[in-house]
Structures are given as C-alpha cells and as structure tokens.
Amino acid sequence: MTKIPVVQQILSANDAIADENRAALDAAGALGVNVMASPGAGKTSLILATAARLPAGLRLAVIEGDVAGRIDADAMAAAGIPVVQINTGGGCHLDAPMVRSALPHLLPDGVDMLMIENVGNLICPAGFALGTHVNLVVASTPEGHDKPYKYPGMFAAADVVTLNKADVAAVFDFDFDAFQRGVRMVNPAAPIFVISCRTGEGVNAWVDWLTAQHAVMPRPPKHS
C-alpha cells in the first residue's frame, strides 16, 4: 500500500493553514520570515544582529522553534524582543498549525516583522510552508561550500540566502565561488549576502534588503 496519498493529505492540510497564517500576517502588516539553517549556522545570531540594525520604529517579534529547551528564546527576551517558544518534542521542523498557535500571542501587540526561527536542519523545514513572505536560508562557512549541492531542495526553496561567518572562511578553506555556483544551479534569482554576525560585515546590506521587502508590502486598511 502506498503512503503517497497520506503524505499529500498532510501537506495539503498544512498548506491550507499556511494560507490562513499569511492572511493574518497581511492583515497585521507584518512581514513573515521563515529562517532555516542547519544547527550552529547562526540563525539566532542573525536575528539578533538584524534586530539591532532595523530602522527605528520597525517592530520585530520572533517565534523560536526547537526540539527542546528555550535557550534562544531567552536570548531574544533578554534583547527586548517579543518571543514565543515552540518545542516540537522531537519533530524536525515547524509546521503551519504550530505557527498559527503562536500568532495570537504576537500580532495583536503590533508587529511589523515576524521572524520564525525554524528547527535546525537542511531537509525537513523546506517541505512545510508556514505562511511567511520570505524563506531565508542561513548557511555558514564552517559547514563547507558543498551544502547547496548536498541539500538542493533547501536552497531551491530560498527567497534569499545569507552566508554567515565570513570572517573565518579562510580557516575552513571555504570556496565562495563554488558555493555561489551551487546555489545558482538550483536557484538563479535569490540574493546572496555574505555576512559575519560577529564582525558585522555585510549585515547592513542584508537588513536594507529585508527592510525593503517590508516597505513594499500592501498596507492593511486603517479602521476609522
């Protein structure tokens, strides 16, 4: 007996709720960003670096997805960022229903940007839509320049790629050209920002791009 119909039903149900999430984000005027990466690539560091450089008045909130614990959520809270923790209890990714359960805790307070830190891996998160406007893949130089070749589905799903830890690339013999070729093989259009959250290299350019995505969002109608 094939399991394909069951898988299709699961993805279809997830996509329907993802559409609801997108509608809720649109109604709130909040740009949703799905932050995907392997463990240790620097998802949390990038969110914190982004928050520190956003234009004044642009309000950021975060959903933290982890198998267990709340270490990253505590880091967000310490930085003054509204945050909701989701623990999957062993699941390798967030899904749309999980995100839907968190939105009422954040959107009513007035949010311009919602960054969702997905569970760390380069396979499962790419298969489950959350309703966000932007799929961000965070790669890092210690992982090696071969990741787009090994995990093409993740990089194909990206709207934008940040390559973190550029300051230590030489230590790991990282080949920037090979990395870019790998991304372009599966994703000809996504911008690639080479950054270092530790030194700040390239982060302003990334934040400028992200802010521009928010600027072109349709504004929700004002109620009189």
Average pLDDT over residues 151-165: 98
For residue 121, the model assigns a pLDDT of 95
Backbone angles phi, psi at 115, to 5 degrees: -100, 125
What's the predicted TM-score (pTM) here? 0.93
Higher pLDDT, 5 or 60: 60
What's the confidence (pLDDT) of residue 8?
A: 61
- State how far the alpha carbon of 170 is from the alpha carbons of 120, 133, 145, 206, in Å: 25, 34, 12, 22
Q: Quick one: pLDDT at residue 11?
A: 78
Domains of the chain: 4-215 (3.40.50.300)
Instruction: Please compute the mean of the pLDDT values over residues 179-205 and round it to a whole number.
Output: 98
pLDDT of residue 20: 97
Average pLDDT over residues 161-175: 98
CB 212 within 8 Å of CB 178: no
Task: Output the pLDDT for position 220.
Answer: 72
pLDDT at 65: 97
Q: Of the candidates 59, 62, 57, which has an alpha carbon nearest to the alpha carbon of residue 136? A: 62
Task: Summarize pLDDT for 12-24 with one digit per residue, the tens.
Answer: 899 999 999 999 9
pLDDT at residue 5 is higher than 70: no
What is the pLDDT at residue 224?
Answer: 47
* pLDDT tens digits, 37-75: 999 999 999 999 999 999 999 999 999 999 999 999 999
Give the tens place of pLDDT for each residue, 92-117. Answer: 999 999 999 999 999 998 999 999 99
Average pLDDT over every residue of 133-144: 98
Residues 6 or more apart from 178 whose CB is under 8 A from it? 145, 146
DSSP state of 7: H
* The pLDDT of residue 6 is above 80: no
